[in-house]
Amino acid sequence: MNWFIDTISTSIGKKLLMAVTGLGFCMFLLIHMIGNLTLYGGKDLFMAYVEHLHALSPLILAAEIGLVFFACVHVATGLILFLENRRARPVGYAVKKNAGGRTFGSATMPYTGFIILCFLILHLINFRFIEQTPDAIFQAVSGTLSDVSFKIIYIAAVFVVALHVRHGFWSLFQTLGANHLKYMPMIQAIGIAFALLALAGFGLIPIVIGFIA
Amino acid sequence: MSAKRINLTLKVWRQSAGEIIGSLKTYSASDISTDMSFLEMLDVVNENLIKNGEDPIAFDHDCREGICGMCGSVVNGRAHGHESNTTLCQLHMRHFSDGDTIVIEPWRAKPFKVIKDLVVDRSALDELIQAGGFISVNAGGAPDANAIPIARETAEAAFNAAACIGCGACIAACPNASAMLFVGAKVSHLSLLPQGKPEAKKRARQMVRKMKELGFGNCSNEAECEAECPKGISIREIARLNREFIKAEFS
Amino acid sequence: MTLDAKIPGGPLAQKWDRHRFELKLVNPANKKKFDIIVVGTGLAGASAAATLAELGYNVKNFCIQDSPRRAHSIAAQGGINAAKNYSNDGDSVWRLFYDTVKGGDFRAREANVYRLAQLSCNIIDHCVAQGIPFARDYGGLLDNRSFGGAQVSRTFYARGQTGQQLLLGAYSSLMRQAASGRVKIFPRRELMDLVVINGQARGIVVRNLINGQLESHDAHAVVLATGGYGNVFCLSTNAMSSNASAIFRAYQKGACLANPCFTQIHPTCIPVHGTYQSKLTLMSESLRNDGRVWVPKQPGDKRSADSIPEEQRDYYLEKKYPSFGNLVPRDVASRNAKEQCDLGKGVGETGLAVYLDFTDAIKRDGRDVVSSKYGNLFDMYEKITGDNPYETPMMIYPAVHYTMGGLWVDYNLMSTIDGLFVLGEANFSDHGANRLGASALMQGLADGYFIIPYTIGGYLAGTRFPAVDAGHEEFKNCEASVHQKTARLLKIKGKRTASDFHRELGLIMWDYCGMSRNETGLSKALGMIRKLKQEYWENVNIPGTGDEFNQSLERAGRVADFFEFGELMIVDALHRKESCGCHFNTAYQTEENEAKRDDENFAYVAAWEYAGSGSDPILHKEPLIFENVKLSQRSYK
Ligand SMILES: Cc1cc2nc3c(=O)[nH]c(=O)nc-3n(C[C@H](O)[C@H](O)[C@H](O)COP(=O)(O)OP(=O)(O)OC[C@H]3O[C@@H](n4cnc5c(N)ncnc54)[C@H](O)[C@@H]3O)c2cc1C
Ligand code: HEM
Ligand code: SF4
Ligand code: FES
């Protein structure tokens, strides 16, 4: 195990942790979104989905523990990287311009990440740490999201997630060493598509929820 | 193209020695021919400073043809200035306009201590190479040069990485002061060639560890390095470094 | 002093083997007891330092730049020769040897050149093993190109950056030894003096360029690989820090300087554009394969190139040399360009340029073909000049490029000071009066990887060394005299900058000791230089102090030595009453305007001994004996 600690404490090692956990999140995000799409099918479909999930509860518990663990790793490593990177340039530039590589998404990763973390906590308080019956959950979702300020918070958060993923998706492939002249444009495109999909998939929920309920 | 004459205002980082606090000072550069290179423009400013009994601006340079990697400053927020694939010595004044204000600052990174004005200590780059950027072969022991054929594409790919001039612009431009492009270029160059394969694992492991020890930041895949590298080194070399590192650590 | 070249006996082809056998060896266990100083990290210095450390010696390696990887060798473009005969076109060690001796216009030592040709093959093997990405053909084997002065294809290359790749190879070996602790690297150091004790080179005094402090380093032997002195001319293709100071210090300490007037001028460089120009950039010679050189027929014709009709253009090379045309050798092409400009037919703002026109090539082969051959050169030209060579003809002019002269060395590469070895462009050894393309890289690496490791062992094993360290009185004396000189320079606080003087010196050298020379001009130049030198010591203005990072002081010290060196070059040029290779004295030319040698009286190496400041140097002659090649006259009509 010593070697593993040694490996992940290197610069690339930490990046690998970010990439693997980030990939895990992306996959979770996708599944979560597919599940949530049931909302667009109306209350019944959504309730059936929740019921279904509960039937799988041991698996879900395992997945939840995994996600919490991943979250801890992703957040802690992200924080370490952020601090290390700041320390690597003690004196900054008076004038610094982008040369064309940086995007808004890439430049804001630590900040969007932090916002996502705050949102996640709120999100869990809203929908996870409540009574876990399908009915209660549906009430919570439709109730919370009918509040205008929550609507705005949720839509904004989805924007932030999309931004994070827009850079994060291709970046994780680069970190894992998968950058090839032939395939990278495709990965980049998928990343953007994925971000937009997440934006649409999650972002429309607070808007359409009123009609569904 | 016939030369024009332009007048400029320079704001230059002045720091008389490493331990002394520096600041931006303003100078005027008048009657500059647009045929001059950026460094020749600084030469002219310096000649005038000397004549006026002032301390000339210290800056590193040597070949003045874009190959030694000695020159380099951040000009208006861009490493080696705003022209792509260009070292500072090859940046010409025709890319500036009359009346421009130009801010000139040294490379900034923790391992790059300022020596004077725009001159920084880049010995960390040598230390990175010492950590494994070589093939262990003693003079005298080599087989015939054509004993191992190497596919032309492979040799070309190795060359693309080997073209790095060690200027440090990638580090200066990187928001995190990371040396991944520099190390990626060396690791790629050597690991692509059959001669470099025997030591590939050791090289990747040691060079990556050395980066941290020297205080460079971590890559966050922002690709600013690639955009500023005067030799057009691609971040694919960083991906290859990541690959080499994964292979080395997990096998 | 008698010059003993120590050329081994026996047939030419066996001299080196035999010599290696006869050289004394240092017991492997004893190698670590010897300290060796190597000054310079170019191809010659880096390869020597790395290889000596591989053998087990303790090496200290110095350079001016902030990293050994930036030595001027990095700028070499074209390639490196080797007699591999991979092209199967009839090359051999003998042919490479012969081409080099002939190219040098029969002013080089046969035995050295033959050894160089022999070792050329080992260099390529070693460099490939180091991971140098040489160009390859589709089968994966090494590719070759042709270069001037040879009818075979024997030049190995790595795009247009051969010097860079070779140097990075040597540098990587050096870094490996630095990591192992056997080499200690001292960057940002400038050699200020050579320390000679009991007739042996025992150390150096350097200035730490970061804080100005002097440092003394002792050793059992000193290796100088400090490159060429082309910057005497101020404008050259050399790097800004290239200097004559290191070899001049050695000269002042008793090492003879050989053939200082042999300077090569490269015909295809980007012309000077203004007074503040700091350097000249080489454009590969290969451009002359497709470009046509011309000037307007009418002197003073200031029309733009496209408005000068065909019949008013003078394609002077094609006219004068019908069979070689635009492809005459470097020295001939350079001299003719100067001649045209002297006639007032030069083009461009300064009138010091000739056209190199690709219009016909583009018409004939199409823009794509031309671009695939020369695209990167065209881009570089456009970057520097702002002109597009696809549309307007390039302007080119000759520029100082390489210095064949240097410190005199024997077959062991040892100078006339015991224990002082000289490698690379800093010595005079292999190129005679003219160097062929792609052979400087070969020489530097042969010297460093394959010659010095043996010959220095022979010296160390066969010499008794009195105990000496950096505390020795002589080190103190040297430091004191360096201090004194620096203080003297700093005290002047005159009106002109060192660069200003350097430009003026360069112009004098260029006008009178450049592509062609004559006695009147040379004598005049000697007077001018002496006068300017005097003014220098009274009127130079060097800001700052000696105990800080002070680039003006660095430059001023080098310029001071360029004056002395320039004088010596002119003395040498004046004494050689013949023309040979790059030394073209207009009084000695054939009817075809080629250099006319006088083998009867001048088939020797002129080695100058320092006789103190203000005294004329003493000439020593090393006769050149040609047992294996027949001396002949070059002709390119
Ligand atoms: C533009 C250009 C293109 C060329 N192309 C080719 C080519 O294609 N093929 C070819 O064969 N040759 C070519 N040459 C020639 C060749 O590059 C040089 O002759 C050769 O590289 C010289 O190597 P060197 O090791 O002797 O010296 P350099 O590479 O000049 O190294 C000198 C070293 O000495 C150090 N030094 C110098 N003075 C001092 C001092 N006072 N104190 C401390 N250190 C000092 C420097 O820091 C440096 O490390 C070219 C030359 C130029 C200018
Ligand atoms: C839905 C939730 C999240 C997803 C899908 C996600 C995804 C990703 C991905 C794919 C990466 C790229 C990894 C790489 O470059 O190799 C990444 C990087 C990053 N993440 Fe997240 N992340 C999420 C939440 C968070 C949170 C909560 C934080 C922190 C508080 C965070 C902070 C960061 C940081 C700082 C990086 C950049 C690391 C670097 O490149 O140096 N992320 N994320
Ligand atoms: S990778 Fe590019 S920017 Fe970085 S040191 Fe090398 S040449 Fe300079
Ligand atoms: S001075 Fe050599 S690269 Fe700019």
Question: Is residue C155 within a helix (H) or strand (E), and if so which, with residue range?
Answer: strand C153-156
Mean pLDDT of chain A, nearest integer: 94
Same domain? B245 vs B136: yes
Tell me: the pLDDT tens digits for C162-182?
A: 999 999 999 999 999 999 999
Domain stop point among B73, B88, B116: B116
Calculated CA dihedral for residues B78, B80, B82, B87, nearest 10 degrees: -160
Residue C573 lies in a domain: yes
Looking at the structure of chain B, the number of domains it has is: 2
Same domain? B23 vs B139: no
Give pLDDT, residue C322: 86
Same domain? B16 vs B106: yes
The pair of three-digit structure tokens given for residue C483, joined into one six-digit string: 């201090």
Tell me: the pLDDT tens digits for C34-89?
A: 999 999 999 999 999 999 999 999 999 999 999 999 999 999 988 999 999 999 99
Question: Whose CA is closest to A170, among A189, A156, A197, A151?
Answer: A189
Residue C229 lies in a domain: no
Same domain? B219 vs B151: yes
**Collapsing DSSP states into helix, strand and coil, what is residue B59?**
coil
Tell me how far apart the alpha carbons of residues C183 and C58 are, in angstroms, rounded to a whole number.
6
Average pLDDT, integer, range C533-555: 97
Distance from CA of B88 to the nearest CA of C (A): 12
Give pLDDT, residue C332: 83
Same domain? B158 vs B220: yes
CATH number, position C284: 3.90.700.10
Give pLDDT, residue C126: 98
Q: Residue A159's domain spans which residues?
A: 2-211
Share of residues in chain A with pLDDT > 70 (%): 100
Domain stop point among B62, B90, B116: B116
Q: Within chain A, what is the greatest distance between any pair of CA atoms?
A: 59
Residue B2 has pLDDT above 70, yes or no: no
Query: In this complex, is the C-beta atom of C90 within 8 Å of any C-beta atom belonging to chain B?
Result: no
What's the per-residue H, E or C state across B127-165? HHHHCCCCCCCCCCCCCCCCCCCCCHHHHHHHHHHHCCC
pLDDT bin (cut points 50, 70, 90) of residue C276 is confident
Q: Mark yes or no for CB contact C122/B122 under 8 Å.
A: no
CATH number, position A204: 1.20.1300
Per DSSP, the residues of A136-197 read: HHHHHHHHHHHSHHHHHHHHHHHHHHHHHHHHHHHHHHHHTT---TTTHHHHHHHHHHHHHH
Same domain? C500 vs C389: no
Residue C324 lies in a domain: yes
- Radius of gyration (C-alpha) of chain B in whole angstroms: 20
Collect all residues of chain B within an 8 Å Cβ-Cβ radius of residue C126. 137, 139-140, 142
Residue C564 lies in a domain: yes
Q: Residue C573's domain spans which residues?
A: 473-597
Give pLDDT, residue A130: 87
Helix locations, C32-157, DSSP H? 43-55, 93-103, 110-129
* Residues with Cβ within 8 Å of residue A96, at least 6 apart in sequence: B74, B77
pLDDT bin (cut points 50, 70, 90) of residue B217 is very high
Atom of ligand 2 nearest to the CA of A169: 10
Distance from CA of B53 to the nearest CA of C (A): 7
Neighbours of A119 (CB within 10 A): 17
Share of residues in chain C with pLDDT > 70 (%): 100
Looking at the structure of chain C, the number of domains it has is: 2
pTM of the model: 0.96
Residue C460 lies in a domain: no
Give pLDDT, residue C380: 87
Collect all residues of chain A within an 8 Å Cβ-Cβ radius of residue B74. 93, 95-96
Residue whose CB lies within 8 A of the most ligand 3 atoms, among B73, B160, B164, for a mutation test: B164
**Collapsing DSSP states into helix, strand and coil, what is residue C540?**
strand
Neighbours of C197 (CB within 10 A): 17
Does the active-site annotation cover C330? yes
Average pLDDT, integer, range B213-241: 97
Residue C241 lies in a domain: no
**For residue C598, which amino acid is it?**
D
Mean pLDDT of chain C, nearest integer: 95
Residue C123 lies in a domain: no
Tell me: the pLDDT tens digits for B120-174?
A: 999 999 999 999 999 999 999 899 999 999 999 999 999 999 999 999 999 999 9
Tell me: the pLDDT tens digits for C238-260?
A: 999 999 999 999 999 999 999 99
Question: Whose CA is closest to C174, among C48, C303, C341, C301?
Answer: C48
CATH number, position B205: 1.10.1060.10
Domain stop point among C375, C400, C425: C400
Same domain? B96 vs B126: no
ipTM of the complex: 0.98
- Radius of gyration (C-alpha) of chain A in whole angstroms: 19
In which residue are the tokens 């309920």 written? Answer: A213
Distance from CA of B71 to the nearest CA of A (A): 18
Same domain? B110 vs B132: no
Tell me how far apart the alpha carbons of residues B233 and B243 are, in angstroms, rounded to a whole number.
17
Tell me how far apart the alpha carbons of residues C104 and C262 are, in angstroms, rounded to a whole number.
10
Average pLDDT, integer, range B97-101: 97
Average pLDDT, integer, range C371-394: 88
Same domain? B142 vs B231: yes
Looking at the structure of chain A, the number of domains it has is: 1
Interface of A with B (CB under 8 A): 3, 7, 10-16, 81, 84-85, 87-103, 106-107, 109, 167, 170-171, 174-181, 184
* Residue ranges of chain A whose pLDDT lies below 50: none
Average pLDDT, integer, range C297-311: 92
Give pLDDT, residue C591: 85
Burial class (CB in 10 A: 0-12, 13-18, 19+), C28: exposed
Q: Residue B148's domain spans which residues?
A: 122-250
Same domain? B81 vs B183: no
Give pLDDT, residue A118: 97
Domain stop point among B79, B96, B116: B116
**Is B72 a pocket residue for ligand 3 (Cβ < 6 Å)?**
no
Tell me how far apart the alpha carbons of residues B6 and B41 are, in angstroms, rounded to a whole number.
11
Q: Mark yes or no for CB contact B235/A179 under 8 Å.
A: yes
- Cα C524 to Cα B250, C229, C520: the distances in Å are 74, 22, 6
Same domain? C386 vs C483: no
Tell me: the pLDDT tens digits for C89-112?
A: 999 999 999 999 999 999 999 999
CATH number, position B71: 3.10.20.30
pLDDT bin (cut points 50, 70, 90) of residue C636 is low
Same domain? B243 vs B132: yes
Same domain? B95 vs B133: no
